Amino acid sequence: MVDPTPEAPPGGEWNASALPLHVQAPQPPPAPAGYYDAAPPAADAAPLRLEARGVRKVYRTGSVEVEALAGVDLSVAAGELVAVMGASGSGKTTLLNCLSGLDEIDDGEVFVDGVDIQRLPDAKRTEHRARSMGFVFQAFNLIPVFTAVENVELPMLLVGTPAKEARERASEILARVGLGDRLGNRPNEMSGGEQQRTTVARALVTEPSIVWADEPTGNLDTHTAQTVLDLLWELNDHGQTLIVVTHDPAIGDSAARVVNMRDGSVIADRVQEKRRVEASR
C-alpha cells in the first residue's frame, strides 16, 4: 500500500520532514554578508561546555502566562564567544538564567560540562554553578560593605578555598584587570568601570568553564565599555568560553558567533568570518 499524503496533525503543528515537497517550512532570515550559519560541532571539535535541548520556560503572573523560552536548543563549545541578541523581552536574560541553572525550567535539558544541571539537587546545583560558572551582570551585584578584594574572594570562600589562598588569588586577578591599587576600596569608592572590572575579576577567579554576561556594558560610558569589552575579549583569546547577552550591535559585530532571539526562540545562529574588536557605543 502507498503511504497516504501527510497531513497537519491536530492543532496544526507541522513536522517539517512530513511536509509535501511543494510546501515550504518557515525559513530563518537570510544571513547578512560575512556571516554563515553555525554548523553542528564536528566530532573532533572542542568539547561542549553547554548543551541545551528543548528548553522551555513559562512565567506565570496571576492568570497571565508568558512563554519566555519556547523550546530552545543551543550548543556552545569550549573557547567560543557567543553574543545573544534580540529585542527587549525576546528572552535573553531568561535564557541566561535558565541555561546557567539560576532559574528552574518547565521542560528540556541543560548540560554544562556533561552534567544535567536541572536534575541536580539544589545544593549540588549551586555548588556546580559556583565551580563552573562566572557571572557579569549589568547591575554590578557587588556587596557594598565588602572591599574589592573581599568581593572577589567570596566565590572561592564559598567553595572552600583556604582564606590565605583566596586572598592571594583575588589580589592577583584584580591586578590583572588593572585594579591592583584598589584592593581595599568599597564599591562606592570606585568608578562604574572599576566596579564592572571587579565583577569581571569575581566572575573569573574560580576559573569557571563558562562566563555569562548580561549587558556587561549596559550602564557604562563608551570608553569604559570598551575597556570592559577588551578585557572580556582578551579572556576569550586565552580560551575562556563566554556567553554575552546584549542588544549592543557593536558587541554583536565583534563576537565570533551571534545567536538571535525573538519571542523566546532562537531565530538565527551564525558565525562571522571576521570579528572586529571595537565598540561604537
Residues in touch with Mg ion (CB under 5 A): 92-93
Q: Please report how close the Cβ of residue 264 comes to Mg ion at its closest, in angstroms.
A: 13
Closest CA to 109 of 101, 134, 25: 101
Nearer to ligand ATP, 24 or 88 (CB): 88
E-only strand ranges, 13-168: 35-37, 48-61, 64-77, 81-85, 107-112, 115-116, 133-136
- The interface with ligand ATP within residues 235-264 (CB under 6 A) comprises 247
Given 52, 91, 155, 203, the residue binding ligand ATP (CB under 6 A) = 91
Q: Is the dihedral of CA 240, 242, 248, 253 positive or negative?
A: positive
Given 18, 23, 31, 66, the residue binding ligand ATP (CB under 6 A) = 66
Note whether 90 binds ligand ATP by CB under 6 A: yes
CB 191 within 8 A of CB 228: no
Note whether 27 binds ligand ATP by CB under 6 A: no
Alpha-carbon distance 258 to 271, whole Å?
A: 6
User: Which does residue 68 touch among Mg ion, ligand ATP, none (CB within 5 to 8 A, set by kind)?
Assistant: ligand ATP
Q: Please report how close the Cβ of residue 92 comes to Mg ion at its closest, in angstroms.
A: 5
User: Which does residue 66 touch among ligand ATP, Mg ion, none (CB within 5 to 8 A, set by kind)?
Assistant: ligand ATP
Per-residue burial over 210-247, b = 16 or more CB atoms within 10 Å of its CB, e = otherwise: bbbbbbbbbebeeebbbbbbebbbebbeeebbbbbbbb
Q: Could you identify the residue written with the cell 545573544? A: 84
Closest CA to 49 of 206, 166, 209, 169: 209
Note whether 63 binds ligand ATP by CB under 6 A: no
Biggest alpha carbon–alpha carbon distance for the chain: 80
User: Which does residue 91 touch among ligand ATP, Mg ion, none (CB within 5 to 8 A, set by kind)?
Assistant: ligand ATP
Note whether 218 binds ligand ATP by CB under 6 A: no
Alpha-carbon distance 122 to 102, whole Å?
A: 10
Given 50, 80, 94, 173, the residue binding ligand ATP (CB under 6 A) = 94
Nearer to Mg ion, 105 or 205 (CB): 105
Nearer to ligand ATP, 177 or 261 (CB): 261
Alpha-carbon distance 77 to 256, whole Å?
A: 12
Q: Please report how close the Cβ of residue 190 comes to ligand ATP at its closest, in angstroms.
A: 25
Given 5, 24, 27, 88, the residue binding ligand ATP (CB under 6 A) = 88
Q: Please report how close the Cβ of residue 106 comes to Mg ion at its closest, in angstroms.
A: 19
Nearer to ligand ATP, 17 or 88 (CB): 88
Alpha-carbon distance 4 to 27, whole Å?
A: 26
Note whether 89 binds ligand ATP by CB under 6 A: yes
Side chain identity at residue 232, one-letter code: L
Contacts to ligand ATP by CB under 6 A: 59, 61, 66, 68, 86, 88-94, 247
